């Protein structure tokens, strides 16, 4: 990906970037299930190779929604339906952001590129991947790394596509979450086809 030269302020703290990405995913996990739900509906997790949506002709698989992992979660064949649907929507939105940035010639800054390089290193050195050389673990690490880096890339590009607004003196603070949702709704007017019915 080309680098956009500019003076945009970027947080290059690798841990902040990574935890920010994870926090966003965890927020989806937490908000996907209604608060009053006693027993969220469970469904069988689709195969990782299953194509779950087409976004302007680009196929998204389960690796774009929720890549394989290691540990206890890797052996659980089920997942909450609401969580799965929310994560698929996040994957669609991520792809829309990446496509929009490409179409508008919006690229990562040098600082953002450096932060993503650090992010890759941070993931590979974290549990449960550190010191593990098995082919299965390394394959899973590659999927997880690509997923996290792609998600962080989309967040960075969104900051350029939709800059954070500073409210005028005396004005109420800008509702960033609502601003982002409104922007994503506009992007969702693109050609999106949901292929896999959970």
How many structural domains does the chain have? 1
CB neighbours of 82 closer than 8 A, spacing ≥ 6?
32, 33, 34, 37, 40, 41
pLDDT at 165: 86
Q: What is the pLDDT of residues 38-70, one digit of tens each?
A: 578 999 999 999 999 999 999 999 999 998 876
pLDDT at 8: 38
Task: Residue 147: count other Cβ atoms within 10 Å of its Cβ.
Answer: 22
pLDDT over 80 (residue 21): no
Copy the structure tokens of residue 99. 């496509």
Compute the CA torsion angle 170, 10, 6, 3 (nearest 10 deg): -140
The range of the structural domain enclosing residue 154 comes to 14-163+172-194
pLDDT at 82: 94
Mean pLDDT of the chain: 81
Percent of the chain with pLDDT over 70: 73
Kindly report which listed range (26-35, 77-86, 157-166) carries the lowest average pLDDT score.
26-35
Q: What is the pTM of this model?
A: 0.78
pLDDT at 198: 78
Q: Which residue matches tokens 């902040």?
A: 16
pLDDT over 80 (residue 23): no
Q: What is the pLDDT of residues 133-150, one digit of tens each?
A: 666 778 888 888 999 999
Residue 42: phi and psi, rounded to 5, are -105, 145
Q: What is the pLDDT of residues 87-141, one digit of tens each?
A: 999 999 999 999 999 999 999 999 999 999 999 999 888 866 666 666 677 888 8
For the ranges 5-19, 21-35, 87-101, 182-196, the maximum mean pLDDT occurs at 87-101
Distance between CA atoms of residues 108 and 111, nearest Å: 8
Is 5 within a domain? no
Per-residue pLDDT band for 33 (boundaries 50, 70, 90) equals: very low
pLDDT at 133: 64
Q: How far is CA 168 from CA 9, 59, 172, 173, 174, in A?
A: 20, 42, 8, 9, 10
Q: Between these two residues, 171 and 12, which has the higher pLDDT value?
A: 171
């Amino acid at each position: 990906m080309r680098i956009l030269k500019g003076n945009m302020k970027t947080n290059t703290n690798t841990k902040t970037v990574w935890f920010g990405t994870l926090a966003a995913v965890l927020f989806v996990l937490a908000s996907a299930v209604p608060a009053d739900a006693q027993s969220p509906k469970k469904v069988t997790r689709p195969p990782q190779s299953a194509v779950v949506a087409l976004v302007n002709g680009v196929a998204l698989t389960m690796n774009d929604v929720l890549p394989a992992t290691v540990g206890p979660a890797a052996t659980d064949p089920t997942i909450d339906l609401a969580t799965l649907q929310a994560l698929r929507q996040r994957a669609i939105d991520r792809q829309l952001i990446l496509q929009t940035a490409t179409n508008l010639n919006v690229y990562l800054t040098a600082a953002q590129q450096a932060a993503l390089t650090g992010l890759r290193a941070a993931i590979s050195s974290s549990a449960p991947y550190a010191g593990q050389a098995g082919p299965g673990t390394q394959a899973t690490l590659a999927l997880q790394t690509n997923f996290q880096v792609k998600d962080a890339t989309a967040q960075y590009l969104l900051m350029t596509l939709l800059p954070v607004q500073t409210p005028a003196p005396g004005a109420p603070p800008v509702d960033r979450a609502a601003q982002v949702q409104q922007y994503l709704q506009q992007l969702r007017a693109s050609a999106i086809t949901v292929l896999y019915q959970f």
